[in-house]
Amino acid sequence: MGLVVFDTFANVVDGKLVSTASTRHGINPATLEPLPPVPVSTRETVHDAVAAAKLAASGWAETPLNERQQRVVQFADALASQAGDFAKMLTLEQGKPLSAARDEVAQAVRVLKGVANLTLPEQLIEDTERRRVMTRYVPVGVCVGIVPWNFPIYLATVKLGPALVAGNPIIMKPSPFTPYCGLKLVELAQRFFPPGVVQVLSGDDNLGPWLTADPGVDKVSFTGSTATGIKVMQSCAQTLKRVTLELGGNDPAIICSDVDIATVAPKVAHLALYNSGQVCVAIKRVYVHSSIYKDFVAAMVRHIKSLVVGDGMDAASVLGPVQNVMQYQKLKNMVASIKSDNLNVSAGDIEGAFPDRKGYFMNPIVVDNPPDDSEIVSEEPFGPVFPVMQWDTEEEVIRRANSTSAGLGASVWSNDSSQASRIANQLQAGNVWINCHQEIQPNASFGGHKQSGIGSELGLEGLKAYCNVQTVYHDKGGSCRL
Ligand code: NAD
């Protein structure tokens, strides 16, 4: 089997590589060098892709489940066999260190294989002499997967895998900031799926709204910010499309008094700063019990000082650049407000946060005990900066942890499992972790409460989200009321 070559980048429509009249390009965030040209799709490109998906839909839906699952596994194996090429491209376009890029590809492979292991249940409600009543799950139809720029490969497979296993065609739309791996992923998929089943379109800011408005699309699965998620849902409402929204988070981590500081503090700092903090389920608020606050913060600061910020292609780099100029400016504004509010900083320094070098680099900052209503606590920074606060009573810390419109993830860290469970059971989030954070697996649902999302991805719930529910009543004679 040949490999995909990372030299030119095209849309994939109806099984063919297609270019467009105009092109644009991404930027390597570590060097600010332009990356190769990518298509700018038009309304016509969208119509072509939706038409091809509609044509492919019934054939794919009728393909037996075990064959669909096998093809997804073969696709995963092909991705694994080209992991090095995908990882390199990912670092160039997204900025993350090469080792983290390899981890992302490995995670994508795991997701595809894990999802291919799931089977949709059929529920026999009644089976009597009179009738048989059964509820089953049927493919929802033409799907669109809209992906952000923080995990362009992994988050694409989280949509591709379940859509395909459930029997649907899907059109992928990568972020304009990181289109390259998304385009190649779907090019690679062409070896395993019939034309029109897996397609990808790159474009500018018009493309997402065109796709969500298209009446030929039956379901949109969107991952991105809460503000955009609201627009996606409004647009989908016009034709009552099914929507799954995976949105922003503001995850709290509650650190109890009995933790082993030497092990837990570096872990918590790592989980706040991984991918330079650009993770929907990064730890974004750390609440430390007041009896250990000073020592815990000191241990986090020691760890953070050891982290090298640099180009992801450099093996020494642990934290890559911020991915794009828009996010970089947002972080600059947030750091300016930390300064103007005179908040204390325990790691990093405000003046040196943005080093004077080429690239969107930011040195990590920990804000020491800011007020609960400060921007750094109430807003999702999505960068290498986070607040650490003190708590005294469980009732108080649970209230503070829950006092946000976000509800994606939350964690409790304690050696006392009854205390940990007691706190965990009161947290308002779709993912609650004890002594860990950011753990996600393909056979478990992942989703947000409150304004962090609608519905969930992965697990059986995620697979069902790519289906319509259908109840079949089979009258065996005489039970029909009319
Ligand atoms: P974003 O909302 O700006 O963009 C996400 C995607 O939506 C991009 O592909 C973009 O081109 C597209 N888009 C923009 N406007 C659109 C519109 N009107 N209609 C349709 N599509 C549109 O988000 P981002 O800045 O790329 O990503 C960062 C955000 O994503 C953060 O808030 C983060 O927490 C969140 N996120 C959530 C999860 C999750 O699983 N819950 C995972 C990763 C990131």
Tell how far the Cα of 149 is from the centroid of ligand 1, in angstroms. 8
Atom of ligand 1 nearest to the CA of 280: 34
Give the model's pLDDT for residue 479. 65
Give the model's pLDDT for residue 349. 83
Kindly tell me if the per-residue pLDDT of 226 is higher than 60.
Answer: yes
Give the model's pLDDT for residue 2. 63
Q: What global pTM score does this model have?
A: 0.97
Q: Where are the domains of the chain?
A: 11-247+452-471, 251-434
Q: What percent of the chain has pLDDT over 90?
A: 97
Give the model's pLDDT for residue 1. 54
Q: What percent of the chain has pLDDT over 70?
A: 99
Atom of ligand 1 nearest to the CA of 457: 40
Question: Does the annotation count 246 as an active-site position?
Answer: yes
Tell how far the Cα of 219 is from the centroid of ligand 1, in angstroms. 17
Query: Which residue lies with its CA nearest to atom 26 of ligand 1?
Result: 148
Give the model's pLDDT for residue 482. 65
Quick one: pLDDT band at residue 77, thresholds 50, 70, 90? very high
Give the model's pLDDT for residue 356. 94
Which one of 246, 351, 395, 439 is the catalytic residue?
Answer: 246
- CATH number given to 251-434: 3.40.309.10
Architecture of domain 11-247+452-471: 3-Layer(aba) Sandwich (3.40)
Q: Tell me which residue of 185, 155, 190 sits closest to 82, measured CA to CA.
A: 185
Q: Give residue-wise pLDDT tens across range 267-282.
A: 999 999 999 999 999 9
Taking residues 448-459, what's their average pLDDT?
A: 98
* Ligand 1 binding pocket, CB closer than 6 Å: 146-150, 155, 173, 175-176, 208-209, 212, 223-225, 228, 231-232, 246-249, 280, 380, 382, 408, 448, 453
Kindly tell me if the per-residue pLDDT of 234 is higher than 80.
Answer: yes
Tell how far the Cα of 222 is from the centroid of ligand 1, in angstroms. 7
